[in-house]
Amino acid sequence: MRKFSKGAAGLLFVFFGIQLPCAGVQRDPGLPNVKATPGAVNPAVTQANIYSTICVSGYTKTIRPPVSYTNRLKYSQLDSGYNYRGDTSAHDYEEDHLVPLEVGGSPSSVKNLWPQPWLVTWNAGKKDQLENKMHSLVCSGSISLAAAQRVFMSNWIAGYQKYVAG
């Protein structure tokens, strides 16, 4: 087995999304690894067409990728090291869209899908609350589509604290 220095191992683990003290970079485990999952938007959804796309009830069902695709991706990501503290049990994660479909996120881009751990404070349940709030704000005209997308691509936890808890 090849040995790595603490610095090299830390860089390797940061790349794959594992939070280690030796990495020198702390991120909340509820946030994705931004290098692997920066987020991606659906070019078919624009500010001009939100009332015929994302603001239509049931729209996300028409574009959501099949579970066979997202499960295969989740297993691949977990096995390659994109996991929380070495936990590779698929049921401990939700394969989540960083930029949600509800605000025009890309349905199938690997840049927008990540294994979000359930067993952390900032889990998919909390992110779902923010997704619903941002969808409501976009569809009511209170915030632009691009602004809502940026909330998720920058730091969804800060977005939760501002728009849901705030």
Q: What is the pLDDT of residue 164?
A: 97
**Which range of residues forms the domain containing residue 133?**
30-165
Q: State the number of CA atoms in the 13 A half-sphere of 148 facing the CB.
A: 29
Residue 23 lies in a domain: no
Residue 44 lies in a domain: yes
Residue 24 lies in a domain: no
Residue 27 or 49, more confident:
49
* Tokens at 6, concatenated: 């603490």
Residue 20 lies in a domain: no
Residue 9 lies in a domain: no
Q: How many domains does the chain have?
A: 1
Scanning the structure block, which residue is given the tokens 């015929």?
A: 52
Q: Please write the tens of the pLDDT for every residue from 35-58.
A: 999 999 999 999 999 999 999 999
CB 156 within 8 A of CB 100: no
Rounded to an integer, what distance in angstroms lies between the CA atom of residue 74 and that of residue 93?
A: 8
* Tokens at 5, concatenated: 């220095």
pLDDT at 27 over 70: yes
Q: What is the pLDDT of residue 26?
A: 63
Kindly report whether the global pTM for this prediction surpasses the value 0.75. yes
Residue 147 lies in a domain: yes
Residue 78 lies in a domain: yes
Average pLDDT, the chain: 88
Q: Which residues pair with 94 in a beta bridge?
A: 116
